[in-house]
Each structure stands twice: as C-alpha cells, then as structure tokens.
C-alpha cells in the first residue's frame, strides 16, 4: 500500500499541476481511502468507470477528464450525485489532470502520440491560455506520404481517423494536439506545417484545410487521450510499488 497524499503530491509536482490555467481543478478532486494498493486509470470520470474501479477493489481512480469544470452546472445534478455516491460508496479517491497531462514532455498525450506516430518531438505547439499544450513532430529524411501518416495514426489510435488529405505529397512536419484541438489548425497553417493531428474535428476544418493546403487528421477525442493517463498509472505503479489497471470504456467520439 502507498499513501494517497504522497501519490498526489508526486503527480502534482511532476505535471506542474498548479501552474496551469485550466478549465477545472487538477489533482485530487474527491478524497477516498488514505492508502492505495490499486489505481484504476481511465480517460473520463463517469459512473461506468467508477463501477469498474469498485469491482476491481481499487482505492484510486486516475482520469484525464475529471468531474468538475468551470462551465459546468453550479448546482449538483442527479448524475453528478450518482457519480459521487459511487465514489463514496467504494471509498475511491478521484484524481484528474487535464491540460498538464496533454502537454507534459515525457508522459503527456501529445509527446506520446509523437512517439506512436514515429515522429521526432521538436518545438512546442498549440498555444492555449498562454502555454503550449502540443508539439510539432518531424519526420526524418525525405518525409512520408499522407497515406503513410494515416496508416500510422490508425495503428496508434486503434481506429480509422477522419482525414482531409489536402496537404503536400510529402509530409515532414506535423502539429499534434490531442482531444479538442481542431482550433489549432490556424496555428499549424501559420507555422507552415504539413499536417495537423488532433482528436475531434470541427465543421470549418474541411474547408480550412483545403484552402490552406494542409492535411487534417482527427483520430477521436477519446482515442487520442488514452496515452497519458495510462502512462501515468504505469509510472506511479512502478514508483510506489502498487498495482495499476487501465480500464477501457470505448467512446466513438
């Protein structure tokens, strides 16, 4: 068993959790058992994940998308109440890291996507509230075709992405922002990148990519954000000598 508070302190420091201007709180959101032997990780904090964690006998749930958001309801809703009851009933702590986990250079979603796509992680990309949450990945040598990039994305995300193949024949530079990063397409164009890889598309993306001559690849919000939280769970399991399980709750979005 390991101390819940020591685990959270380690993660807060690793991810610079307090230094990020985010859409909700990062770190411990709901306190549960002070001792942890099993951490269950998953992308989003919801009842199905909590039920799986309770059934596994976990003491902590580690998520990328937590329960509380700045634009969320100001009063407790029935679904939120049910989620909290599931956590309280199993004495589960909920720990969540959003933008810090997208951006981290080692365990972040976007750095890990760079590696999964076989790209060299280079300069920061995807400015948001004064900080960059993504990376530019670069291809060594002569570059790759758009079809090859899509093949790599399909393998990395476990699903066929939505693609607007409107860029150059040879892809050498790729902006990467997981999740809802379609809004960074303009930055990718401004910086002269050959492609943007993100999670969710936006309605203007097709025309914007076509008119700017850039490839747009949307691998799915959920699918692009399994990387960081899984790696984070593995890291704390190794560091604190506890067990970790990633729970897949498939989401087509």
What is the average per-residue pLDDT within 5-26? 96
Residue 98 has pLDDT above 90, yes or no: yes
Q: Average per-residue pLDDT in the chain?
A: 97
Share of the chain above pLDDT 70, in %: 100
Residue pLDDT, tens place only, 67-89: 999 888 888 899 999 999 999 99
CATH code for 102-222? 3.40.1390.30
What is the average per-residue pLDDT within 220-239? 98
* Predicted local distance difference test score (pLDDT) of residue 74: 83
* Predicted local distance difference test score (pLDDT) of residue 239: 98
* Predicted local distance difference test score (pLDDT) of residue 193: 98
Output the pTM of the full model.
0.96
Residue 49 and residue 249 in contact, taking contact as beta carbons nearer than 8 Å: yes
What residue spans define the domains of the chain? 2-98+225-246, 102-222
Cα separation, 145 vs 136, in Å, equals: 17
What is the average per-residue pLDDT within 204-215? 98
Residue 115 has pLDDT above 90, yes or no: yes
* Predicted local distance difference test score (pLDDT) of residue 173: 98
Residue 56 and residue 245 in contact, taking contact as beta carbons nearer than 8 Å: yes
* Predicted local distance difference test score (pLDDT) of residue 130: 87
* Predicted local distance difference test score (pLDDT) of residue 32: 98
Cα separation, 134 vs 193, in Å, equals: 13
Handedness of CA 115, 116, 118, 122 (dihedral sign): negative
Altogether, the residues listed in the chain come to a count of: 253
DSSP string computed for 52-106: HHHHHT-SEEEEEE-S--TTS-SS--HHHHHHHHHHHHHT-EEEE-SHHHHH-TT
Residue pLDDT, tens place only, 149-185: 999 999 999 999 999 999 999 999 999 999 999 999 9
Q: Where is pLDDT greater, at 117 or 73?
A: 117
What is the average per-residue pLDDT within 19-40? 96
Domains 2-98+225-246 and 102-222 share a fold: yes
Q: How far is CA 246 from CA 27, 60, 96, 243, in A?
A: 18, 12, 14, 10
User: Could you tell me which CATH class the domain 2-98+225-246 is placed in?
Assistant: alpha beta
Residue 140 has pLDDT above 90, yes or no: no
User: Of the candidates 231, 119, 220, which has an alpha carbon nearest to the alpha carbon of residue 175?
Assistant: 119
* Predicted local distance difference test score (pLDDT) of residue 106: 96
């Amino acid at each position: 068993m390991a101390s819940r508070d020591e685990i959270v302190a380690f993660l807060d420091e690793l991810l610079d959790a307090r230094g990020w201007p985010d859409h909700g709180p990062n770190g411990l959101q709901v306190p549960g058992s002070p001792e942890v032997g099993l951490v269950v990780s998953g992308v989003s904090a919801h009842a199905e994940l909590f039920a799986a964690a309770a059934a596994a006998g976990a003491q902590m749930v580690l998520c990328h998308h937590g329960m509380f958001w700045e634009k969320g309801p100001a009063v407790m809703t029935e679904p939120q109440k049910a989620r909290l009851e599931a956590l309280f009933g199993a004495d589960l702590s909920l720990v969540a890291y959003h933008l810090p986990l997208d951006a981290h250079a080692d365990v972040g979603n976007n750095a890990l996507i760079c590696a999964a796509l076989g790209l060299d992680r280079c300069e920061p990309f995807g400015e948001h509230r004064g900080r960059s949450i993504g990376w530019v990945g670069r291809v060594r040598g002569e570059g790759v075709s758009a079809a090859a990039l899509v093949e790599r994305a399909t393998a990395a995300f476990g699903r066929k992405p939505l693609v607007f193949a409107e860029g150059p024949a040879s892809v050498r530079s790729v902006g990467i922002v997981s999740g809802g990063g379609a809004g960074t397409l303009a930055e990718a164009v401004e910086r002269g990148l050959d492609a943007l890889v993100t999670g969710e598309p936006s309605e203007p993306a097709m025309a914007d990519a076509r008119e700017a001559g850039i490839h747009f690849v949307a691998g799915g919000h959920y699918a692009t954000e399994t990387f960081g939280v899984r790696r984070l769970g593995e890291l704390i399991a190794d560091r604190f000598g506890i067990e970790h399980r990633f729970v897949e709750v498939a989401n087509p979005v």
